[in-house]
């Protein structure tokens, strides 16, 4: 083959390589672009907050409808309870129940029969005690006793977690009732800008430090249930016995948009894990 032929073949090879490289790079870019778009959407606080609270707020303090021939389930909690509700609904769990919700904000957690000054900070007392401003265990008690299933899902204060048996005793129903306590979860401080520059493999393996608080409070709750009350530990189920937690699902979707509350994808992800690997799957 003459030099001209060799030159043509060489040029063709490099052109083909360049085109192939461009095509592959474009495909990778398009894939990562989709992931990045998902990240940007998930971390839009306004829309993510709207999703997180929409369903639980719609059910807040609504009465059970006795004309609906379904068993009754009530969730008592704060924004973590909203996450739990979303986790169930995203996967079609609890579909055989009529669900209602009693929203008690984290700052307003108290223990019935004890002075609120032990549990509510002075700056929150007016909000937490003013009639009509927020819910309470006292206000929820009658409806709670009508439920077939009672689920506590909150960001538990340690001092309230210690008094769990007293709370349960205060709310207990005379009829047979299934009781489930869901512990704390936390996904730490997110580094969103860093995630934009990571490969898919890195995103799947990235974990963030969350400290020991959730594990410590969940340990209290587990001891206080004594195996007599069903306890679900979301931290252990998702993060293991570790002080780090995953940030992304295996489909590279963000689990939490702010480290505390779940995205829609995160609710679907956590719901499957909790219901398939705990007593929740049997209700």
Looking at residue 57, what is its pLDDT?
A: 94
Q: What is the pTM of this model?
A: 0.86
Average pLDDT over residues 140-160: 96
Q: What is the 3-state secondary structure (H, E, C) of the chain?
A: CCHHHHHHHHHHHHHHHHHHHHHHHHHHHHHHHHHHHHHHHHCCHHHHHHHHHHHHHHHECCCCCCCCCCEEEEEEECHHHHHHHHHHHHCCCCCCEEEEEEECCHHHCCCCCCCHHHCCCHHHHHHHHCCCCCCCHHHHHHHHCCCCEEEEECCCCHHHHCCHHHHHHHHCCCCCCEEEEECCCCCCCCCHHHHCCCCHHHHHHCEEECCCHHHHHHHHHHHHHCCCCEEECHHHHHHCCCCEEECECCCCCECECCCCCECHHHHHHHHHHHHHCCHHHHC
pLDDT in tens, 175-220: 788 999 999 999 999 988 898 888 889 999 999 999 999 999 999 9
What is the model's pLDDT at position 2? 56
What is the rounded average pLDDT for all residues in the chain?
Answer: 87
Whether 165 has a pLDDT exceeding 50, the answer reads yes
**pLDDT tens figures, 94-136:** 999 999 999 999 999 999 999 999 999 999 999 998 877 789 9
Per-residue pLDDT at 227: 72
């Amino acid at each position: 083959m003459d030099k001209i032929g060799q030159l043509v073949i060489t040029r063709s090879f490099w052109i083909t390589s360049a085109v192939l490289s461009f095509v592959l790079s474009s495909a990778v870019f398009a894939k990562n672009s989709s992931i990045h778009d998902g990240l940007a959407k998930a971390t839009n606080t306004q829309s993510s907050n709207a999703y997180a609270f929409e369903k639980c707020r719609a059910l807040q303090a609504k009465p059970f409808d006795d004309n609906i021939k379904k068993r009754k389930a009530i969730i008592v909690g704060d924004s973590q309870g909203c996450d739990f509700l979303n986790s169930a609904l995203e996967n079609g769990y609890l579909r055989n129940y009529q669900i209602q919700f009693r929203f008690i904000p984290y700052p307003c957690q108290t223990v019935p029969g004890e002075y609120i000054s032990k549990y509510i900070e002075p700056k929150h007392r007016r909000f937490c005690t003013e009639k009509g401003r927020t819910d309470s265990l006292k206000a929820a008690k009658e409806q709670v006793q009508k439920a077939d299933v009672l689920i506590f899902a909150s960001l538990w204060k340690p001092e309230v977690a210690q008094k769990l048996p007293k709370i349960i005793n205060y709310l207990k129903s005379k009829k047979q009732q299934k009781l489930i306590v869901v512990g704390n979860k936390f996904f730490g401080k997110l580094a969103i800008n860093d995630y934009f520059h990571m490969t898919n493999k890195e995103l799947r393996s990235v974990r963030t430090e969350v400290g020991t608080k959730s594990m410590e409070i969940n340990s209290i709750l587990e001891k206080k249930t004594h195996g007599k009350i069903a306890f679900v530990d979301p931290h252990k189920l998702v993060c293991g016995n570790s002080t780090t937690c995953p940030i992304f699902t295996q489909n590279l979707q963000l689990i939490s948009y702010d480290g505390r509350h779940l995205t829609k994808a995160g609710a679907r992800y956590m719901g499957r894990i909790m219901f398939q690997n705990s007593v929740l799957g049997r209700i």
